[in-house]
Amino acid sequence: MVAIPGGVFTMGTDEPEIQQDGEWPARRVHVNSFYMDQYEVSNQEFERFVNSTGYLTEAEKFGDSFVFEGMLSEEVKAEIHQAVAAAPWWLPVKGANWRQPEGPGSSILSRMDHPVLHVSWNDAVAFCTWAGKRLPTEAEWEYSCRGGLEKRLFPWGNKLQPKGQHYANIWQGVFPSNNTAEDGYKGTAPVTAFPPNGYGLYNIVGNAWEWTSDWWAVHHSADEAHNPVKFASAVKLMGGGMFCYKLHYLFFSR
């Protein structure tokens, strides 16, 4: 793990890309020092947890999970007759879970160093408890994501590709129909891929979403200035964006 020094930073933004995400307004927040894993949890790590405990993820219990359509064959897609209305590129696939991310016939054997997928908030908490850790708060996540930088668009600065180098695994091309994979990956990338941010954290944006301990909320008050945590909501909060999302999901996004 990496030691993240406590400090004060500007959380959120006054110019959100998506108003409904509730990232506004910008506000000064103090967080105490804490530790953060240097890498996303890999399939190999999660497998050790499952083998040690016999844990069954919620996707395995439910019998299905959502998969990005670009990762599915035309044959599989032809058998699916429903989707998320606001995001029709997410399709429910029977049998999709962390062991077989694209459903029956897929495997993680060649992706053991990639981030684990199809993990619910409850699954993430169970893993953290087993590992003797916890999920970060949204404030801790955003603070560590910024890597010590202030007033920058990305964890590494203001340019998406400094000197032509890719710093995150995101969508390139026309979304959601054509991913040119200019960063080298059409799906997830190894957890060690791409340069780390200023705190030494890898893939803190892009690649896979990361859970936080907070409940989601739109409104924020000035009273949340020290180690803020959101409790009252029906929805848990993720950050970081994913390999199949475009640029605006890299802005320290929810």
Indicate the fold that domain 1-41+135-254 takes in CATH. Answer: paralog of FGE (formylglycine-generating enzyme) (3.90.1580)
Rounded to two decimals, the pTM is 0.88
Domain assignments of the chain as residue spans, ordered by start: 1-41+135-254, 46-118
How far, in Å, CA of 110 to CA of 114, rounded? 9
Give the pLDDT score at 151: 82
Residue 119 pLDDT greater than 90, yes or no: yes
pLDDT the model gives residue 222: 53
Q: Say if CB 44 and CB 238 are below 8 A apart.
A: no
Q: Which residues pair with 115 in a beta bridge?
A: 42
pLDDT of 102 strictly over 90: yes
Contacts of 137 (CB under 8 A, 6+ apart): 31, 212, 213, 214, 227, 228, 229
Q: What is the pLDDT of residue 27?
A: 80
Q: Is 189 left (phi over 0), alpha (psi -120 to 50) or beta?
A: beta
Q: At what angle do helices 43-53 and 121-131 cross, to 10 degrees?
A: 80
Residue-wise pLDDT tens digits, 158-188: 898 998 999 999 888 888 889 999 999 999 9
4-62 per-position pLDDT tens digit: 999 999 887 666 565 545 566 778 899 999 999 999 999 999 999 999 999 999 999 99
- How many angstroms separate the CA atoms of 188 and 116, rounded? 9
Average pLDDT, whole number, for the chain? 86
Residues in contact with 43: Cβ distance below 8 Å, sequence separation at least 6, in sequence order: 98, 108, 111, 112, 113, 114, 115, 116
Q: Using CA atoms, how far apart are residues 29 and 31, in angstroms rounded to an integer?
A: 7
Asked, as a colleague might, if the bond just before 25 is cis with ω within 30 of 0, I would say yes
Name the percent of the chain lying above pLDDT 70. Answer: 81
Q: What is the pLDDT of residue 223?
A: 52
